[in-house]
Structure 1
Amino acid sequence: MSDIAKKVPFGYEPPKDDRKGTIVYYDSFEHITERELDFAAYISKERSFAKLVLYPLHEQSVKRLSKEPVSAYHKREDKLHEWKRDRDAANVIVERLEGKRKKYTPIDSALRHLSETYPAPLFLLMTGEMANLFASFSSFEEWIVKIRLFVITESGHVHPRLVQYRQRWEPVTSH
């Protein structure tokens, strides 16, 4: 605490920060375009989130989730950093947990790390395919009551657990 007295006008109240919470874009970012990243930034700004966290998955995580071939983690991460630099986005963070671990990271571990590291409430932004995968895990019911989802709508099947917890997620469409 400072010994210097601060003078403020009578009745002064510090301005409240309207920006709350964190939105996490959880994806491999293999096929994500700059337009889709701009859409994530738009949602973050429109909904007044304090932080937008881009969470690229490690190759081993993608392999376990979808069996889809994916480029090296550092190449996808570099693409995200380049997009961030081009937009001069101060409130955007590229999460490095999976890059440090260099192996498969279960979504439970990732969510635990994110909820301990970033300001609450925690929202996940996912593609419809990723949301269906998340809903198929046994820990989905434990996590869906702690977080909320934004699902980038795609035509197709919606997992029964997503239907069951439809009040905990919201479909969003890119403009």
Structure 2
Amino acid sequence: MASSNQQVPYGYEPPQSNVRGTLIYYDDFNDITDAALEQAAIVAEQMRFAKLVLYPLHEQTVRRISNEQVAPFYKREQRLQEWKLDSGRKSILVEGWDGKRKKYTPIEAAIRTCMDHYSSPYFLLMTPEMANRFASFATFEEWITKISLVLTRQPDHLHPRMETFRSRWRVAGEQRDKNGKQSEL
């Protein structure tokens, strides 16, 4: 195939895109409402992410992490797919990798898989309870330097590692000022 030359004015720079990276919503999605999913989509738009990836956990993973009972993976995934179609947003994806494995998937493997398939930078959207569980893992300190966390709401209590790495997470709907303090959007 022959290449063609294009002429551009001197000093031309291609327009910069304001969208960036991937926001990965890591949750079991068992009791989530449409309003909470809509709020996640709004957070992704406000923070100008290229993609919002909904990552539902397999029931074995949920059982191992929180010892709770959840609906079968395929039902939760189907509900997310239906919501995605109803929302009409093309930037939302439902990641089914955990369901294909059909067994416990460590969070490190889930993050690594998302890093292989989606563009950087990477942010994990989590509930405060899930973030505290993630902080309790030995590999948390390694991963928190590669990703940032966005919490769905202000936590009632924090894991000591979450307190240590306060600069690597924020609450959805809050913005940091120049001094690193959080303020409302």
What amino acid does structure 1 have at the position aligned with 2:51? K
- Helix, strand or coil at the partner of 2:71: coil
Match of 1:36 in 2: 36
Q: Indicate how the Cα distance of structure 1 residues 52 and 2 shifts in structure 2: closer, same or farther if over 3 A, else same.
A: farther
Aligned equivalents of 1:46 and 1:123: distance in 2?
Answer: 14
Aligned equivalents of 1:146 and 1:23: distance in 2?
Answer: 13
The number of aligned residues is: 175
Match of 2:17 in 1: 17
What amino acid does structure 2 have at the position aligned with 1:84? K
CA deviation after TM superposition for structure 1 residue 43, in Å: 0.7
TM value normalised by structure 1: 0.93
* CA contact 1:58–1:99 (8 Å) conserved in 2: yes
Counterparts of 1:35-114 in structure 2, within 5 Å, are: 35-114=35-114
Percent identical residues: 50
TM value normalised by structure 2: 0.88
Instruction: Note the aligned Cα RMSD (angstroms).
Output: 1.9
Higher RCO, Cα 8 Å, sep 6+ = 1
Aligned equivalents of 2:130 and 2:2: distance in 1?
Answer: 49
Aligned equivalents of 1:73 and 1:155: distance in 2?
Answer: 27
* CA contact 1:28–1:58 (8 Å) conserved in 2: yes
Aligned equivalents of 1:30 and 1:126: distance in 2?
Answer: 14
* CA contact 2:43–2:173 (8 Å) conserved in 1: no
- Helix, strand or coil at the partner of 2:157: coil
Aligned equivalents of 1:58 and 1:159: distance in 2?
Answer: 24
Q: Indicate how the Cα distance of structure 1 residues 167 and 67 shifts in structure 2: closer, same or farther if over 3 A, else same.
A: same
Aligned equivalents of 2:71 and 2:173: distance in 1?
Answer: 26
CA deviation after TM superposition for structure 1 residue 2, in Å: 4.1
- Helix, strand or coil at the partner of 1:21: strand
Match of 2:181 in 1: none
CA deviation after TM superposition for structure 1 residue 152, in Å: 1.6
* CA contact 1:127–1:154 (8 Å) conserved in 2: no
CA deviation after TM superposition for structure 1 residue 4, in Å: 3.3
Aligned: 1:161 with 2:161: yes
Aligned: 1:131 with 2:101: no
Match of 1:171 in 2: 171
Q: Deviations over 1:62-96 (max 9, x none)?
A: 00011111001010001100110001110111011
CA deviation after TM superposition for structure 1 residue 18, in Å: 1.1
CA deviation after TM superposition for structure 1 residue 154, in Å: 5.0
CA deviation after TM superposition for structure 1 residue 153, in Å: 2.0
More divergent stretch after superposition (100-109 vs 152-161): 152-161
Aligned equivalents of 1:82 and 1:125: distance in 2?
Answer: 20
What amino acid does structure 2 have at the position aligned with 1:77? E
What amino acid does structure 2 have at the position aligned with 1:148? S
- Helix, strand or coil at the partner of 2:134: helix
